Structure 1
Amino acid sequence: MAENKKWMPRWFYQMASPRWCYDFTGKLLPWFAVAAALLLAAGMVWALAFAPADYQQGNSFRIIYIHVPSAILAQSCYMLMAVAGAIGLIWKMKVADMVAKACAPIGATVAILALATGAIWGKPTWGAWWVWDARLTSMLILLFLYLGVIALHSAIESEATAAQASAVLALVGLVNIPIIKYSVEWWNTLHQPATFTLTERPAMPVEMWLPLLVMVIGFYCFFAVSLMLRVRNEILRRERRAGWVRDLLQRV
């Protein structure tokens, strides 16, 4: 263990302390909350009022400013949940288990949002609310994985056992992430390719994808706020008998 500490950054072990994590996230929360509010407000106004209409889909395309960020975030949240679960399995860090548990309801919510907005977008585009397209089906499986993790935490009384079981499920479910990402390329699907990637120039004009980028960053900031709030609440619940928590609650 001492040998491992030489190779791991100091903050990694500091985050294992519930009190340090609670204090640290408390300092970050206002910054991310302000950033999320500003970015989402600016992105929505830019997307709805100033971005030009699509030459094929008209104004119905504007739903991508909600659909794309929620779909991206649903996948990122799942990967974070799986990584946190793995850290909890390997290093037995309670805070990592709390992060993994907090990710599940947030990820499920944005996955539902992605599926709902995709259905709304699909009706005028494809003529149907739902088709068993590879991208849509794999996103639905992602939602079921989130619900499975939530169900395990609800069904198993032992926090440690629930964390281990849900971590295993999350790690197994990681195989679905590349399927979601590459399903459009691997199969002949109705779903259009990725709107933009980090390695290629966006196909849409800059005045259309810039507000989308702002919305994606805003969604990530909002996710950070939601995650920190849930983790802080979980810390207080699990550490409620600790002296520092009792002192904190007395000062409130």
Structure 2
Amino acid sequence: MWKWLHPYAKPETQYYLCERLIPFAAALSLILLAVATVWGLAFAPADYQQGNSFRIMYVHVPSAIWSMGIYASMAVAAAVGLIWQIKQAHLAVIAMAPVGTVLTFLSLVTGAVWGKPMWGTWWVWDARLTASLILFFLYLGVLALYSAFQQRSTGMKAAAVLCVVGVINLPIIHFSVEWWNTLHQGASITKFEKPSIATPMLIPLILSIFGFMALSLWLSLVRYRNALLREDMKRPWVNALVK
């Protein structure tokens, strides 16, 4: 198995792999998000309690899920980079960080817009909201540490350490509705035996979740590909690309 994976450790191999995956991820994300948006906004029935204001969940829920998913991926990459001293793993962390930052910010903003008509306020300091805000600051901290040192390798390692330490916040976000009294409702779509959401609303939500996943992958691959080029700017394989 390791012999099979060994060629993929080369930066040039990873670059060409990104080139192949980027169009697929882009097309998949655009198709899924287009279908989910049209279905969710035009065809899904209004909620009997929330009316049409519930439709913001087609942005809020996927962005919240993948804000945590990207951070978990960053933590894995950071651990690999710290343990095995693989430079590309650190590059992957920095490539994903801005994407996760935007998704976390989007989840906070859409949550506030959704919360105003439902709770009567833009913001409350409940467990999940507070932990999500901490996640946003963790993303900013990773980006800040990466840029804070003259030696980029030092910044990468410092950002990786924060990323690994900060992963403890993810289970707090996920289980906060079970551990404490919060305004957020419990699980709706993960109860596969009997979801708490009607099927005509659930299907576009699932499509939107996978659409955001593909979008996150697309943007992260583009950033990672560019990071590989910058890192190996003087290597022969990069020079061969521009000839």
Structure 2 stretches of 5 or more lacking a match?
Answer: none
Q: 1:157 aligns with which of 150, 153, 156?
A: 150
Amino acid at match of 1:24: L
- Across the aligned residues of Structure 1 and Structure 2, the Cα RMSD in angstroms comes to 1.2
Q: Give the C-alpha shift of residue 102 in structure 1.
A: 0.8
Match of residue 58 from structure 2: 65
Distance 1:188 1:60, change over 3 A: same
* Distance in structure 1 (CA, Å) of the matches to 2:197 and 2:3: 41
1:76-225 to 2 correspondence within 5 Å?
Answer: 76-197=69-190, 200-225=193-218
* Distance in structure 2 (CA, Å) of the matches to 1:148 and 1:85: 14
Match of residue 16 from structure 2: 23
Match of residue 40 from structure 2: 47
Amino acid at match of 1:10: W
* Distance in structure 1 (CA, Å) of the matches to 2:138 and 2:194: 32
* Distance in structure 2 (CA, Å) of the matches to 1:176 and 1:210: 29
Q: 2:225 aligns with which of 229, 232, 236?
A: 232
Distance 1:198 1:238, change over 3 A: farther
Q: Give the C-alpha shift of residue 28 in structure 1.
A: 1.0
* Distance in structure 1 (CA, Å) of the matches to 2:3 and 2:102: 33
Match of residue 3 from structure 1: none
Q: Contact between 1:138 and 1:179, CA under 8 Å: does it hold in 2?
A: yes
Identity rate of aligned residues, in percent? Answer: 50
Q: 1:10 aligns with which of 4, 27, 34?
A: 4
Normalising by structure 1, report the TM-score.
0.93
Distance 1:177 1:119, change over 3 A: same
Structure 1 stretches of 5 or more lacking a match?
Answer: 1-6
- Residues paired across the two proteins, number: 243
Spell out, residue by residue over 1:121-140, the C-alpha distance to the aligned partner (whole angstroms, 9 max, x if none): 00000000000011100000
Q: 2:29 aligns with which of 33, 36, 49?
A: 36
* Distance in structure 1 (CA, Å) of the matches to 2:189 and 2:9: 36
Distance 1:9 1:222, change over 3 A: farther
Amino acid at match of 1:51: A
Q: Give the C-alpha shift of residue 201 in structure 1.
A: 3.0
Distance 1:9 1:141, change over 3 A: farther
Amino acid at match of 1:192: Q
- Secondary structure class of the residue paired with 2:9: coil
Amino acid at match of 1:63: I
* Distance in structure 1 (CA, Å) of the matches to 2:150 and 2:215: 30
* Distance in structure 1 (CA, Å) of the matches to 2:186 and 2:238: 49
Spell out, residue by residue over 1:68-91, the C-alpha distance to the aligned partner (whole angstroms, 9 max, x if none): 000000000000000000111111
Match of residue 242 from structure 1: 235
Normalising by structure 2, report the TM-score.
0.97
